[in-house]
A and B are shown apart, each in its own frame.
Chain A
Amino acid sequence: MSGDAGKESRVIKTEKLRKQFGDLVAVSGLNLEIEKGQLYGLIGPNGSGKTTVIKMLVGLLRPTSGKAQVLGESVPVKESIAKMGYMPQEMAIYSDLTVHENIELFGQLYSMGSESLEKRENELLKMVDLSGRRDSLVAHLSGGMKHRVSLACALIHDPEVVFLDEPTVGVDPELRAGFWEYFANLKASGKTIVLTTHYMDEAVRCDTVGMMRTGDLIGEGSPKDLMRTASAPDLESAFLNFARRPAI
């Protein structure tokens, strides 16, 4: 996968990526390029295809047509999967296991050695402020705590690219602020983050925003550029403006 300098800094690239479920076109011919170290936000209403894009990128769904590359490898390839972290929209952790057992499971699935796993687990528990609840059953935790466990599971193997699908849905404002602090720290440490959200006030914090509507990318750029192009005071108005234009 050698290439020019631009290609090397490009972590994610899709070409005419399409996914169809029966007659329903969930994603139609998506062209996406995400650079290393970016915080990229896919925004759009429910059913716009954001989650389907993420699922194709992490290898959970096979594209109907088109190409998707993550870290230079066509997905789904298990080699590149090992360098990705994924936090699904649903918390998707085991409520019948403890916090430690959940994190340990995911570390083991990435074949981490017990020493490095323990070290990383302690770091993450500190980061998500759950060190005191290490041995609590997940079923006994609050919704916000479960979200934090889910994030820790996605980051246990220190991935290069992190996919976060609606990470702040159902999360209280204080925790949301905390989450965005984590994301900023991750970005500062050189990780690439792709997240989906339908909170426009969150999306403005992204480096680049991709606006999706009914499977199409209708606009892409930095939040400032998008607002300027649409002559809109905020991202929500910009989105509505772009929604009236043809897809890019």
Chain B
Amino acid sequence: MRLDRVLAIARKNLRGLKHDKRTVGFLVLMPLLMITIFGYTFGGDVKNLSVYVVNLDDGSVSYSITDDLRTRETLDVNVIYSQSTPLIDPVAYSIDKVKDAEICAAIIFGQNFTRDVRSATANLKNGTLVPPGSFSVYIDGTNPNIVTAVMNDLQISIQKILTSADFGIRSPIVVSPILVYGQGAEFIDFFAPGVMGLAAMMVTFMLSIISFVHERSGFTLDRLLSTPVTEGEIVAGYALAFGFVALVQSVVILLAAIGLFGITVQGNILLVLLMIFIFGIGSQGLGFLLSSVARTEFQAVQFLPLILFPSILLSGVFWPLEAVPLILRPISYFIPLTYAVEGLRSVMIRGWGLDGIWLQLSVLVAFAVVMLLLSTWALKRRK
């Protein structure tokens, strides 16, 4: 294998990209858009859920809870009064709004809520059990995330009121979480490595499958193979060029994630880039290999969802691997992106070095080597 010929093929691919401003724009903007949109969508907590509060309570506890809810941004609280004009039944009105999906939840405090809470608290201290003070929440359960957000926010307020000087109830059990890794980490820190792996895979796969189908349909492959360049040198040249593209993209994503969302990289950034480069080589190799069964660019593009969907859903990009159903999890372990994402997270969040990610790195190296060998073999057998 001669390095000058490998570099000539790599340079050809990068020069072709350089002249295609639209594709360069896509290569830079696509990952930027991905990290920005996903980061803002998934990265933040649920906010401003529209909630109506109907307060029929004679006492003050319901007011304290409502006021406390307003100190946070999770719920957008509107109190519905019966004195509204025209005169309405606030309970029925609020429940109807939930049914019409105009608001997320209606919180109804009954007339004796404060009295019941105080009586239950006093009896708790005496050791007597009486029915607790209760209020109802009519909630749209279409989105379980919203149900959880509303109920968690209410729990926080209730906890605060009960531990206030007014009631003075302290829980006898306190849990103290000690974060071994990821102190101060937010969802975006978990998510950024996933996006980097996903973008590297998508782009290198797509570039190589389309470029190579084009190379064959335009007969330039025949022309290359009529020169002294070997099949292995062509494959290596492609790998070098598109591995480099994956690297550049990762830097764009990293800079965006650091600049826009303030993520921190705990481990060695060079290790992150090395993993992306190797994974990019493997992914472009997969594209290269599959291009041998696609005759047109249109047929090539059809492979994209076939490869992307299982990778996106089963590799832990959006949620932990533990959330993948047990029956599907074995498939996850056959998807290279799983190892790329896990390895990247280990370096970026846990701050691990080579000794911590040797398994993931080995799998990625094996993936790249196997893809390159298979691509070379596929090229040779076409004669």
Contact = CB atoms under 8 A, between A and B. Distances in A.
A183 B317 CA distance: 60
Main secondary structure of the interface of B (DSSP, over half): helix
A243 interface: no
A84 B230 contact: no
Nearest to B217: A90
A97 interface: yes
Given A61-B383, A97-B19, A88 B222 contact: yes
B226 interface: yes
B166 interface: no
A101 B220 CA distance: 14
A81 B223 CA distance: 12
Contacts of A61: 383
Contacts of A109: 5, 8-9, 224, 227-229
A108 B229 CA distance: 10
B99 interface: no
A110 interface: yes
Nearest to B4: A111
Given A88-B223, A90-B219, A94-B12, A62 B383 contact: yes
Interface string A55-78: 100111110000000000000001
A4 B134 CA distance: 110
Nearest to B16: A96
A145 interface: no
B333 to A, nearest CB: 39
Main secondary structure of the interface of A (DSSP, over half): loop
Interface string B1-39: 010110111011001100110000000000000000000
Contact of B219 (A82, A88, A110): A88
Contact of A92 (B15, B220, B230): B220
A86 B226 contact: yes
A232 interface: no
A60 B225 contact: yes
A230 interface: no
A92 B222 contact: yes
A81 B222 CA distance: 13
A81 B220 CA distance: 16
Contacts of A78: 228, 230
A96 B383 CA distance: 26
Contact of A58 (B2, B226, B230): B226
Interface in A78-120: 78, 81-82, 84, 86, 88, 90-98, 101, 105-106, 108-111
Contacts of A97: 12, 15-16, 19
Given A88-B219, A109-B5, A111-B4, A60 B226 contact: yes
B1 to A, nearest CB: 12
Given A92-B223, A111-B4, A105 B12 contact: yes
B218 interface: yes
A157 to B, nearest CB: 8
Contacts of B229: 109
Contacts of B227: 81-82, 106, 109-110
A132 B222 CA distance: 28
Given A61-B383, A92-B220, A101 B226 contact: no
A96 B19 contact: yes
A92 B219 contact: yes
A62 B12 CA distance: 27
Contacts of A98: 19
A223 B230 CA distance: 39
B48 to A, nearest CB: 48
B8 A84 contact: no
Interface string A110-148: 110000000000000000000000000100000000000
Interface in B209-260: 218-220, 222-230
Contacts of A101: 12, 15
Nearest to A102: B12
A94 B222 contact: no
A174 to B, nearest CB: 25
Contact of B5 (A92, A95, A108): A108
B19 A84 contact: no
Best-surrounded residue of B4, B19, B224 (most CB of chain A within 10 A): B19
A81 B227 CA distance: 6
Contact of A94 (B4, B7, B220): B220
Contacts of A91: 219
Interface string A181-221: 00000000000000000000000000000000000000000
Interface string A206-248: 0000000000000000000000000000000000000000000
Those 10 A-B pairs whose CB atoms lie nearest each other, nearest first? A108-B8, A92-B219, A96-B16, A86-B226, A90-B219, A92-B223, A109-B227, A58-B226, A62-B383, A109-B229
Interface of B: 2, 4-5, 7-9, 11-12, 15-16, 19-20, 218-220, 222-230, 383
30 contacts: A59-B226, A60-B226, A61-B383, A78-B230, A81-B227, A82-B227, A84-B226, A90-B218, A90-B219, A92-B218, A92-B220, A93-B220, A93-B223, A94-B16, A94-B220, A95-B218, A96-B16, A96-B19, A96-B20, A97-B12, A101-B12, A101-B15, A105-B12, A108-B4, A109-B5, A109-B8, A109-B227, A109-B228, A110-B228, A153-B223
Interface of A: 55, 58-62, 78, 81-82, 84, 86, 88, 90-98, 101, 105-106, 108-111, 137, 153
Given A78-B230, A81-B228, 18 more contacts: A59-B225, A82-B227, A88-B222, A88-B223, A92-B220, A92-B223, A95-B218, A96-B20, A97-B12, A97-B15, A97-B19, A108-B7, A108-B11, A109-B228, A110-B227, A110-B228, A111-B2, A137-B19
